[in-house]
C-alpha cells in the first residue's frame, strides 16, 4: 500500500482541521453545504465499508444496506425505550442520543450478522454467486423487520424522540470523525499482516491457501469488518432521521450509491471512496435540485461516462498520473 508523502499528510491534516472548524463560522449550520457535507461524510463511510470487503478483499458484496439497516434499527430500538430499557428511558429520554456505546452496539450487531451469514456463503460461494447471496440476505432481513411486530414497529418502523435534536453540529462532527477514523483504521489494517493476507487472498486465493493462509477466516473477518462500519453508519443516520423504517434504512440505495462512489473514486485505494463520495453525491444532489425529473437519467449517464473514460477510478487516473509525472 503506497504511503502518503509528508506534504500530502500535512494537506490532509489542514483539510480535516478546516472541516472541523467550519461549524463555528456564522450561519454555517443553516447553510445548504453543511448538510451536504454531512451526507458526503456518511456516504464516504459507507463507501469505505464496501471498499474493505470488495476493493481490498475481492468479495463483491451486495448486502451493505442490510448491515446499515441493522445498525440503524439497533440504535432505534435502544433509543425508543419501548423494549428492555423502558424505565431508564422514561426518566432519561435523551440518554441514548449520540451514545457511543449504542453506536458501537449497532456496529457489533451488524458484524455478528455478517459472521453468521458470511461463514456459509463464503465457504461455498464465490464471485457472482456470493454477490447474489448477499443481495438475497438483504431482502430477507428487510422482510423480517417488516413483519417484526411491536419489536421492530412493523412496516411503519420506530420513531425516536425528536426533542433530542437541537443542531446539526454533532451529526456533522461525528460524521467527519467516523470518516477520518475509518480511513485511518483501514490504512493501519492494510499495512498489517492481516492486510497482506487479505490482498493475497484477493489476488490468488489458491496460492494464498497453499502458503498457509486461512482464506475463509480472512474473508469472513473482512466481511464482518465491513458490516461493522456500515452498522455504525446506520446508527449515525438514526440520530439524523429519527424515524427508522424498513423502506428507508433497507433501501437498495445504501448499497448501490456507496458501490458506485467507490468504483468512481477508485476501488482498493484509501482515498478513492472519499473522493468518489464527494464527486458523485455532488452530481446526484445537483441533478436532483436542477432537473429533478431527469435526476436518475443524469446520474446513470454520469456513471456510464465514468466507467468508459475512468475505468480505474479518479484516484488512479489523475492522482496516480500526477505522482508519476
Q: How far apart are CA 135 and CA 141, in angstroms?
A: 10
pLDDT of residue 321: 52
Q: How far apart are CA 261 and CA 258, in angstroms?
A: 5
What mean pLDDT comes out for the span 18-45? 93
- Residue 201 domain flag: yes
Asked whether 124 and 54 are in contact (CB, 8 A), the reply is: no
Q: H or E stretch including 321?
A: helix 320-324
Q: How far apart are CA 233 and CA 67, in angstroms?
A: 9
The string of DSSP letters for 227-295 reads HHHHHHHHHHHHHHHSEE-HHHHS-THHHHHHHHHHHHH-TT-SSHHHHHHHHHHHHHHHHHHH-GGGH
Q: How far apart are CA 145 and CA 142, in angstroms?
A: 5
Query: Which of these, 139, 125, 143, 149, lies nearest to 60 by C-alpha position?
Result: 125
Q: What angle do CA 304, 265, 280 make, to 5 degrees?
A: 60
Q: Taking the CA of residue 19 as centre, how many other CA atoms within 13 Å lie in the half-sphere pointing to its CB?
A: 22
pLDDT of residue 4: 60
Q: Examine the pLDDT at 323 and tell me if it is beyond 70.
A: no
Using CA atoms, how far residue 56 sits from 50, 63, 196, in Å, is 9, 17, 10
Residue 102, domain extent: 34-322
pTM, rounded to two decimals? 0.91
Kindly report, residue by residue over 47-104, the tens digit of the pLDDT: 999 999 999 999 999 999 999 999 999 999 888 764 544 444 445 556 667 888 889 9
Kindly report, residue by residue over 212-228, the tens digit of the pLDDT: 999 999 999 999 999 99
Q: Tell me the sheet residues that pair with 158.
A: 244
C-alpha cell at 77: 430500538
C-alpha cell at 305: 461516462
Kindly report, residue by residue over 246-262, the tens digit of the pLDDT: 999 999 989 999 999 99
End-to-end alpha-carbon separation of the chain, Å?
19
Q: How far apart are CA 157 and CA 75, in angstroms?
A: 12
- Residue 281 domain flag: yes
Q: Examine the pLDDT at 315 and tell me if it is beyond 90.
A: no
Q: How far apart are CA 42 and CA 46, in angstroms?
A: 6
Q: What angle do CA 250, 254, 256 make, to 5 degrees?
A: 120
pLDDT of residue 165: 77
- Residue 143 domain flag: yes
pLDDT of residue 87: 45
pLDDT of residue 317: 73
pLDDT of residue 92: 56
Tell me the pLDDT band of 286, cut-offs 50, 70 and 90.
confident
What mean pLDDT comes out for the span 224-239? 96
- Residue 271 domain flag: yes
With helix as H, strand as E and coil as C, how does 40-72 read?
HHHHHHHHHHHHHHHHHCCCCCCCHHHHHHHHH
- Residue 17 domain flag: no
- Residue 221 domain flag: yes
What mean pLDDT comes out for the span 189-214? 93
Q: How many domains does the chain have?
A: 1
Tell me the pLDDT band of 21, cut-offs 50, 70 and 90.
very high
- Of 143-152, 153-162, 178-187, the range with the lowest mean pLDDT is 153-162
Q: Examine the pLDDT at 303 and tell me if it is beyond 90.
A: no
What mean pLDDT comes out for the span 237-243? 92
pLDDT of residue 94: 61
Give CA 217 to chain center in angstroms.
22
- Of 31-45, 47-61, 216-230, 274-288, the range with the lowest mean pLDDT is 274-288
- Of 53-67, 75-89, 114-128, 167-181, the range with the lowest mean pLDDT is 75-89
- Residue 226 domain flag: yes
Q: How far apart are CA 249 and CA 247, in angstroms?
A: 6
pLDDT of residue 324: 38
Share of the chain above pLDDT 70, in %: 91
Amino acid at each position: 500500500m503506497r504511503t502518503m508523502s509528508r506534504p500530502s499528510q500535512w494537506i490532509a491534516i489542514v483539510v480535516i482541521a478546516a472541516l472541523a472548524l467550519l461549524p463555528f463560522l456564522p450561519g454555517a449550520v443553516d447553510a445548504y453545504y453543511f448538510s451536504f457535507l454531512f451526507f458526503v461524510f456518511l456516504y464516504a463511510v459507507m463507501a469505505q465499508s464496501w471498499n474493505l470487503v470488495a476493493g481490498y478483499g475481492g468479495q463483491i458484496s451486495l448486502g451493505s444496506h442490510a448491515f446499515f439497516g441493522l445498525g440503524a434499527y439497533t440504535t432505534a430500538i435502544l433509543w425508543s425505550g419501548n423494549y428492555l430499557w423502558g424505565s431508564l428511558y422514561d426518566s432519561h429520554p435523551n440518554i441514548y442520543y449520540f451514545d457511543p456505546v449504542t453506536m458501537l452496539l449497532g456496529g457489533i450487531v451488524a458484524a455478528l450478522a455478517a459472521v453468521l451469514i458470511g461463514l456459509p456463503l463464503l465457504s461455498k460461494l464465490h464471485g457472482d454467486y456470493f454477490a447474489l447471496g448477499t443481495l438475497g440476505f438483504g431482502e430477507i432481513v428487510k422482510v423480517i423487520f417488516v413483519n417484526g411486530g411491536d419489536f421492530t414497529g412493523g412496516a411503519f418502523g420506530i420513531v425516536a424522540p425528536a426533542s433530542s435534536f437541537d443542531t446539526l453540529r454533532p451529526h456533522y462532527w461525528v460524521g467527519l470523525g467516523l470518516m477520518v477514523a475509518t480511513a485511518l483504521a483501514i490504512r493501519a489494517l492494510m499495512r498489517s499482516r492481516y492486510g497482506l493476507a487479505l490482498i493475497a487472498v484477493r489476488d490468488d486465493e489458491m496460492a494464498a491457501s497453499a502458503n498457509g493462509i486461512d482464506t475463509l477466516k480472512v474473508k469472513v473477518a473482512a466481511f464482518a469488518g465491513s458490516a461493522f462500519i456500515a452498522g455504525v453508519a446506520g446508527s449515525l443516520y438514526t440520530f439524523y432521521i429519527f424515524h427508522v423504517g424498513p423502506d428507508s434504512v433497507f433501501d437498495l440505495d445504501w448499497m448501490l450509491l456507496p458501490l458506485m462512489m467507490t468504483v468512481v473514486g477508485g476501488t482498493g485505494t484509501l482515498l478513492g471512496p472519499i473522493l468518489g463520495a464527494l464527486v458523485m453525491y455532488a452530481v446526484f444532489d445537483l441533478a436532483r435540485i436542477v432537473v429533478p425529473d431527469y435526476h436518475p437519467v443524469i446520474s446513470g449517464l454520469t456513471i456510464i461516462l465514468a466507467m468508459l473514460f475512468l475505468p480505474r477510478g479518479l484516484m488512479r487516473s489523475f492522482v496516480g498520473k500526477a505522482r508519476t509525472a
